Structure 1
Amino acid sequence: MADGVRSYSETFAPYWHPVAFSHELKERPLPARLLGTDLVVWRTGSGVAATQRYCAHRGADLCQGESGPDGLRCGFHGWTYGQDGRCVRIPSQPGVPVPPRARLSAWSAAERYGLVWVCLSPQPAAPLPEWPELEDGSLATVPLPRLDWDVSAGRMMEIVLDVAHLSWVHKGTFGNPEQQEVAAYDVEKLPDGLRARVVYPALSPAMDGVPPKVDRTTLTYEVRFPFTARLAFKPTLFYTHTVYAVASPVSEEKMQCFYFASYHPRIRNFADMFTRSELAILEQDRLIAEGQRPRAHPLDFAGEVHVQADRLPIEYRRAVSALRLGRPVDAPGQE
């Protein structure tokens, strides 16, 4: 590893990352993997908890156990753990004090926006993203199935933020092959992220004999470091819908993305249309992203040649590289 570069896990452990959709976590505990760490997430009487996946007694998989009012109970011998990871019950010797070493590693867990989030550091480096429009009851939401890609979370974010690929990669979905030039656009630096706005002549595919239709759509990109993007689509004559993509780093070269959209309830059949079209769009992106090398997110620009149209992903990479180097994200960098 280059001098001064912090490890991937050390850099991103202090941030909140989603590990499950809320609807996936029912009575049974769920497995998760975050930054190379195996977790089990489970429901408590007051919320959610995240602890190490394997029992401190004999290494049994706690995902095969069950959660209840008293905690997470191992399916092998019934050892039961509280939200803080301490063992609170050993059924085989009820009258004997629980050994102090009978405990699990435990991490902060929270539930918001229909996601279960985990932070692997005692003190989060940043709060959860603020998306107030998802909490005032005015919008409906629809999630996609989790996306499991063999690529780094940063690479996934870069393709989401890439303006120039729309007309090339997304032919047959919404990309307009006649619009190859990318007009100059500004990137606004936020305290914890970036924002950019572009107008793109999106092309709807031909359907049922109806020819393709061009709609000048305003795309507003907002990214929160390190791996969260919100992308609002405003067609000329239609309601806005907003896509949320949160890439969760399984390891330095693999991620899972929690991807969903908010939309006006008056849009009929939006959930079905969005699911079909967005899965097709994301499959186009996956094929490109998984073919890039290296799979790990580059820390610099030495192996690539960039142009003005790449400005948003360039600024994003500068910021993530600064985090790896332990520098402020607005520090001068090299290109």
Structure 2
Amino acid sequence: MDSRVRSYQEAFSPYWHPVAFSHELKERPLAARLLETELVVWRTGTGVAATQRYCAHRGADLCAGHVTEEGLRCGFHGWTYGRDGRCVRVPSQPGVPIPARAVISSFHAVERYGLIWVCLAPEPAAALPEWPELEDGSVATVPLPRLDWNISAGRMIEVVLDVAHLSWVHEGTFGNPQQQEVLPYEVERGPGGVRARISYPALGPSVGGQPPKVDRTSLTYDVFLPFAARLAFKPTLFYAHTVYAIASPWSEEKMQCFYFASYHPRLRNHFPDMFVKSELAILEQDRVIAEAQRPLAHPLDFTSEVHVRADRLPLEYRRGVIAIRSGQAVEPPIPD
């Protein structure tokens, strides 16, 4: 590895990554993993907290403990930790000063967009993505089951952004095998990410045994570095909807993806089940392709692959990820 390239953990620890859906975190502490760091997250009276998973006393799993008014209580001996990781109670020795070393690592944690986000670094390098439509009541959302793929987070996002694969990989879902050419499109770089818009003649579902109709769809890709993407669909035959994919890195070669969609509230009685079923089928097509790519880790250059203009969006995204690994500023998109 180039000596100027930072380790994977060092480069991406300063960013916010989701570790759980909000609905997964109830009254009991919850195990999580991020960048090869084992975590436990729990609810406090003022929000959510995240610390290392194992007790400083005897290495017990704090996920088997309980949340109290004082903090997170270990189920082995009752040692209790505040959200800052400091031990506040040792029941076996009341009235005796708590050892100064009785502390576990704590991390920034916040709840937003129906997700629990964690940043492992002392100070975040960037804010969370700004998705105001998910908080102003104008749309409803439906999550997919969490996706665990044996691929790097960057590789997964590149699949989401890949315009040229739609007609090949997604035949039988929405891909149109008759549309093999990728028409020229532009990529814009903004604060914290890239954007592109394309038009695609998707195939709608077959109804009543009739051949599927071409549903000319406008797609807008918004990418938030390092691993979040919003893809807005504006079809001609159906309601507009938007999907959100946030790949959370377990390690350099494995990730879990938090994936959900927003839709118009009037579709509440029909859209969720339909979306989950169709999107899981689409993502399974992507997973088969992505997990077979080599290397599994996100490439740090472009020399091992051959690219064409149709690849502009995933390649501009990769340039941003490489800049983060190198600790460099992200340059504007490369002109044609």
TM-score normalised by the shorter chain: which range applies?
over 0.9
3-state SS of paired residue (1:175): coil
Residue aligning to 1:88: 88
Pairing of 1:123-142 with structure 2 (within 5 A): 123-142=123-142
**RMSD, matched Cα:** 1.1
8 Å contact from structure 2 (residues 34, 251) kept in 1: yes
Summarize deviations over 1:277-330 as a string: whole Å, max 9, x none: 000000000000000000000011111000010000010111111111111011
Pairing of 1:209-220 with structure 2 (within 5 A): 209-220=209-220
Deviation for aligned residue 1:332: 8.6
Does 1:182 pair with 2:182?
yes
3-state SS of paired residue (1:266): helix
Pairing of 1:1-335 with structure 2 (within 5 A): 1-267=1-267, 268-330=269-331
Summarize deviations over 1:48-88 as a string: whole Å, max 9, x none: 00000000000000001111221001010111000000000
8 Å contact from structure 1 (residues 196, 312) kept in 2: yes
Instruction: Name the TM-score, length of structure 2 as normaliser.
Output: 0.97
3-state SS of paired residue (2:265): coil
Instruction: Name the TM-score, length of structure 1 as normaliser.
Output: 0.98
Identity %: 76
Summarize deviations over 1:145-202 as a string: whole Å, max 9, x none: 1000000000000000000000000011000001000000000111210000000001
Q: Distance in 2 between matches of 1:289 and 1:202?
A: 22
3-state SS of paired residue (2:154): helix
Residue 302 of structure 1 aligns to which amino acid in structure 2? T
8 Å contact from structure 1 (residues 13, 121) kept in 2: yes
Q: Distance in 1 between matches of 2:151 and 2:18?
A: 17
3-state SS of paired residue (1:284): helix
3-state SS of paired residue (2:278): helix
> How many pairs does the alignment contain?
333
8 Å contact from structure 1 (residues 151, 289) kept in 2: yes
Residue 253 of structure 1 aligns to which amino acid in structure 2? E
Summarize deviations over 1:250-278 as a string: whole Å, max 9, x none: 00000000000000011241000000000
Unaligned runs of 5+ in 2: none
Residue 190 of structure 1 aligns to which amino acid in structure 2? G
Q: Distance in 2 between matches of 1:260 and 1:153?
A: 16
Deviation for aligned residue 1:238: 3.0
Deviation for aligned residue 1:239: 2.2
Residue 192 of structure 2 aligns to which amino acid in structure 1? D
Deviation for aligned residue 1:331: 6.8
Residue 221 of structure 1 aligns to which amino acid in structure 2? Y
Q: Distance in 1 between matches of 2:266 and 2:333?
A: 46
Residue 328 of structure 1 aligns to which amino acid in structure 2? A
8 Å contact from structure 1 (residues 152, 253) kept in 2: yes
Q: Distance in 2 between matches of 1:3 and 1:171?
A: 43
8 Å contact from structure 1 (residues 322, 331) kept in 2: no
Residue 177 of structure 1 aligns to which amino acid in structure 2? P
Residue 305 of structure 2 aligns to which amino acid in structure 1? E
